[in-house]
Structure 1
Amino acid sequence: MQKISVIDLGSNSVKLVNFNVNPDNSYQAYQHEAVTVKLGEGITETGNLKEIPIRRTIDALKLFRDIINVQSIKHVLPVATSAVREAANRDDFLKQVHFETGFRFRVLSEEEEALYSHAGAIRALRLPSVLFFDIGGGSLELVSSDRFKIKKIISLPLGTLRLMQEFSDGSGAISEKNLAKMKSHIWDMIPSRKDMQLANDCVLVGVGGTLRSMAKYHQDITNYPLNKIHNYRLSAKSVHLISSKFALLKPEKITKISSISNGRAETIAAGSCVIDSLMNKLKFEQIVVSAQGLREGTLSLSLEYPKEFSVGRIEQEHIQNSIRYSYESDVIPQHMEDIVRFLISSNMITEQERLILAHSLRHISGSYMLQNITNFLSFGMDVDSKLDHRDQLVSVLSTIYSKKKKRLDKIFDRFDSILQQSDKKSIKKIASLILLSEVLGKSETRMKTKMLDNAISMKIYPVTSSFPNILFKDVCEKISDAFDIDISYSIIHNSKYSTSQTVQSL
């Protein structure tokens, strides 16, 4: 395992994320740092980055350098976006940054910024046709895709800091007159559905601090039972109500809202207005929030295409392939393929239940000691999953049920605003299959499944003579109960000289 740092230098803030990277190029973020530096402050008037924002930025980067050095992280990916990209004095700035901090920043083009962010977000979601947006301090990136194929890329000067500098007064508030002007300006800048070549079934997906803050605020006011932003859904009505409220508040009032940071309070009125206008003009009823974006996209593309990344030759095809590759996490372990295929073909489990099982086996089951239920719930829900919150809860509760059956009802009631009663049946089915996977996987056993006389008939082929017969029988009883069907099985032991068979019916 190696550690890699990604630094994202934007118009409003600079962010550091440290990742643990596994040999298979999968990764987990373990540290997030952000400093509001407002590097793009005043750039619209002069075309140059100003001295005070530059000094704030370099001071923040020195802090990041110390964090990286203390952890002995050797591989750092520093990228800069719109503020540096647009600055007339960017070369002087980049030289100064390198001299004082040692970081050599790569300035992303508008298209690169949009594509990298799109890759990071959509890799972490199960959505092949989307309109993706990333709203930052200086710009708004839009990427449309249909069945993973990228159709259109646009970058618009609708960043939150840029809009606040243009339309707010000296106190940071927006007057009613300027609010109307800003809304009209945003509306005129946003392209039509036809211009973006949107598929009929496309889903709106967004990233950025503004959207995350809106989602956190909405969770607070609705008493949402999960502390989780990734894959959270906001309705167009909720977005409009939140945007309308923030537009009327001065920054000092917004800072008193616990879910919104001081740095974000100064720009969220403009940012929420952009998101509201985007949903309204393009007629989206819901938005999906991604907690992953530019930083994760930068990392994943550098790992998958190191040569192309190093020379700035990442193409749309690379992005599309990267997103497709990420779906390998949906694969069921080989020892479970036969029975899962059988259960789907027999309509005993749905495709969605298969995906939940795959997630459970890959990310949750066996990866954490199930002793403290609260800690296990936090661990299981901490994964930024392609599953929505309901299905991810079903995945975690299935693992809990497989070990601590009596706790299900009490835990289920805690999340009754998300879960449905029908999910209990899914939990029991998935839990029984988790137990089966553990037995087959640990004993390296193959299995063949078919329907025989209205019962599930299994043929078990253990590799060794020490197959856990009693444990397997117990698991089969749980499967029989969960699926409400009879089960018979044959355990076939092969040796050099003979074959023995044990037949059992439940």
Structure 2
Amino acid sequence: MKISVIDLGYNSLKLVNYDVRIDNTFSAYSQHSILARLGEGLDKTGFLNDDSIIRTVKALKLLQQTVKFESSAQVLPVATSAVREAGNKDQFLALVSGETGFDFKVLSDREEALYSFAGSYTATNVPAGIFFDLGGGTLEMVIAEKSRVRRVFSTPLGGLRLTDLYATDNGRFTKKNYAKMSDRILELLPDRKELPQLGKLELVGAGGTVRAIARYHQMIIDYPLDKLHNYLMDINSVELIHRTLRKMSPKQIGNIPVIGEDRAKSIVAGSLVIQLMMRKLKIPQLVVSTHGLRDGVLSAFLKDPRAYEKGSVDSILPRLTSDKPVSLSATSSRIIKAFAARDLLDPQEQFILVQALEEAQKLPLYDPETLFYIIANSDSVLTHSEHLLLALSLVRIRGLRGADWLYAKYKDMLEKDAKNTIKRISSMITLIEILEKTGSDLQVTLSAHQIRLRISSGKQDFPTALFKNTLKDFENAFKLEAQFSLTPISSQKPAPEILSSEKS
């Protein structure tokens, strides 16, 4: 089923088309963005001006035809701060409905913040953090721990709004106005002492400015991967980019291909907000999320359409951000737990292995090298280095001859022991796949330098020669001597559980 989400913001208008599967998981397959600048001048008059309304209606008519061409089963139009704050909101919404047929749901600042949080939280692996969405009109912030929302902030610190208030007619900032803007940002940002005491907090950012400065940073350092989601930037990099952009005119910024004309006007102010936020909150690193408001809106609608229409975001949120059940078989889960209990896999390797087994179930049938680039450049809850380990592990079991070359190409992004990690994960994947495909079960016994695997074969013939070859790889990866015994199905008692064994 196809569903479209239209996001009418302060600065831009976005349409995302999603493919929604039968289990309500989804993926975006096309996106369209138009710089409508609906909120331009709103702070000075309190009303949407005629030029902005004309631009927006014209853009919405184009998106209406796009949605019709895509044959979307459902369209979810949402509007944020520009419409929410406008004195002529009702007249504007009536005009849009009459001209385009789109009946926009105007999100409250809390709805906007929480839907954006839901989209980012479920797409990252951040247990406790500050999740923010920096738009053209507002900055929304959610402080959360293990999916529990502890505090929500909404401040009028959007990039376009600040530019309209403090920039000159040519889009640049005088020293005096730049200082005023900085003071205003610091005044409105929360202090660290205002935040719940949750220990170490990570900073996760969504929105066009975040994506633009991350792309620019990747361009500067010649980053080898072609993806933004879960990209990491430290505060020094954010400050360097802001200083560089501040020296440029909007025209010069617009000539940077990864930023473009649409973002050129507001990115100096927007990047200053991010820089000052990191400095004031004493958080040295930014995690970039390309998933936010639109994903959260769609998730809420799919989870409970009636509650979504009523605006009952707080009742839907726990169901959106609860931990996703792992789709592994009982056998796979027991094997992973058994190896982890014997300290053969560290927590990071366990996490990557689980993600790899889930991903292996849906991999397309491509040659291994093409498959590597598909995996490595796709979005994941894993960090980029962890996802590289996953990609290299999966193509290693597909027999990619160039696996070592790919490792050499990306080794600067990986830790020193990465090669052994790849061997451990790939050998575990192969071992589990053999047991799964043959319906076999396994008992594990570990002594000081030896691991014994007792296999109870299933209904399918057990590939003994293939398994022996896998064990050689396994021995090399884990630095253990491996032995196995096979109990044929004809002589089996009921399939045994994996037994715990203490190290001797």
TM-score normalised by the chain length of structure 1: 0.93
Matching of residue 355 in structure 1 with residue 351 in structure 2: yes
Cα distance in 2, alignment partners of residues 367 and 462 from structure 1: 26
2:478 corresponds to: 483
Percent identity (aligned): 37
**1:367 has 2:358 as partner:** no
Give runs of aligned pairs for residues 428-443 of structure 1, distance below 5 A: 428-443=423-438
The farther-off stretch of 263-272 and 462-471 is 462-471
TM superposition shift of 1:195: 1.4
Tell me the alpha carbon deviations over residues 295-317 of structure 1, each in whole angstroms, 9 at most, x when there is no partner: 111111222233321221121x6
CA distance in 2, matches of 1:169, 1:47: 20
Report whether the alignment pairs 1:324 with 2:322: yes
- Measured after TM superposition, the shift of residue 466 of structure 1 is 2.4
Q: Which SS does the other structure have where 1:386 is aligned? A: coil
- The aligned residue for residue 268 of structure 2 is 269
What letter is aligned with 1:235? D
Change (3 A) 1:493 1:179: same
Which of 359, 380, 403 does residue 398 from structure 2 map onto?
403
Structure 2 residue aligned with 1:173: 172
| Residues 334-343 or 290-299, more deviating | 334-343
Q: Which amino acid aligns with 1:361?
A: L
Give the equivalent residue in structure 1 for 2:499: none
1: CA distance between counterparts of 2:89 and 2:78? Answer: 13
Q: Distance in 2 between matches of 1:187 and 1:434?
A: 50
Shift of 1:174: 1.2
Query: Is 1:340 aligned to residue 330 of structure 2?
Result: no
Distance apart, 1:449 and its partner CA: 2.2
Whole-angstrom CA distance in 1 between matches of 2:448 and 2:163: 71
Q: How much does 1:366 deviate?
A: 5.5
- SS state of the match for residue 323, structure 2? helix
Q: Which consecutive unaligned segments of at least 5 residues does structure 1 have?
A: 502-506
Instruction: State the alpha-carbon separation in 2 of the partners of residues 493 and 361 from structure 1.
Output: 26
For 2:174 and 2:389, the matched residues in 1 are separated by 47
Aligned residue number for residue 504 of structure 1: none
Question: Are the aligned partners of 1:146 and 1:198 in contact in 2 as well (CA < 8 Å)?
Answer: no
Alignment equivalent of 1:444, drawn from 430, 439, 446: 439
Q: Quick check: 1:11–1:38 contact (8 Å CA) kept in 2? A: yes
Please give the alpha-carbon distance, in whole angstroms, between the structure 1 residues aligned to 2:334 and 2:450: 16
Contact 2:368 2:398 in 1 (8 A): no
Give the stretch that moved more between structures: 67-76 or 116-125.
67-76
CA RMSD of aligned residues (A): 1.9
* Aligned counterparts of 1:286 and 1:173: Cα–Cα separation in 2: 28
Given that 2:128 and 2:146 are in contact with CA atoms closer than 8 Å, whether structure 1 keeps it comes out as yes
Within 5 A, what are the aligned runs for 1:149-228?
Answer: 149-228=148-227
- Could you tell me which amino acid in structure 1 is paired with residue 406 of structure 2? I
Q: Select 1:418's aligned residue among 409, 413, 421.
A: 413
Output aligned runs, 1:281-320, within 5 Å: 281-315=280-314, 318-320=316-318
Q: Supply the AA of the counterpart residue of 2:322.
A: R
TM-score when normalising by structure 2 = 0.94
2:7 alignment partner, SS class: strand
Look up the equivalent residue of 1:125 and give its one-letter code. Answer: T
Q: Give the counterpart letter for 1:169 in structure 2.
A: T
Find the residue that maps to 1:415 and give its secondary structure: helix
> Retained in 2: the 8 A contact 1:364–1:380?
no
Q: Partners in 2 of 1:270 and 1:251 — Cα distance?
A: 12
Query: d(CA) in 1 for partners of 2:433 and 2:300?
Result: 34
Q: Residues 78 and 107 of structure 2 are in contact (CA less than 8 Å); yes or no, is this contact kept in structure 1?
A: yes
Deviation at 1:452, TM superposition (A): 5.3
Structure 1 equivalent of residue 386 of structure 2 = 391
Deviation of the 1:255 alpha carbon: 1.0
Residues 184-215 of structure 1: CA deviation (Å, up to 9, x unaligned): 11111111112132522111111111011111
Q: Is the 8 A contact 2:117 2:142 kept in 1?
A: yes
What amino acid is the match of 1:319?
Answer: L
CA 1:405–1:437 in 2, change beyond 3 Å: closer, same or farther?
A: same
Counting matched residue pairs gives: 494
Structure 1 window deviating more from structure 2 (206-215 vs 359-368): it is: 359-368
Residue 122 (1) aligns with residue 117 (2): no
2:501 corresponds in structure 1 to none
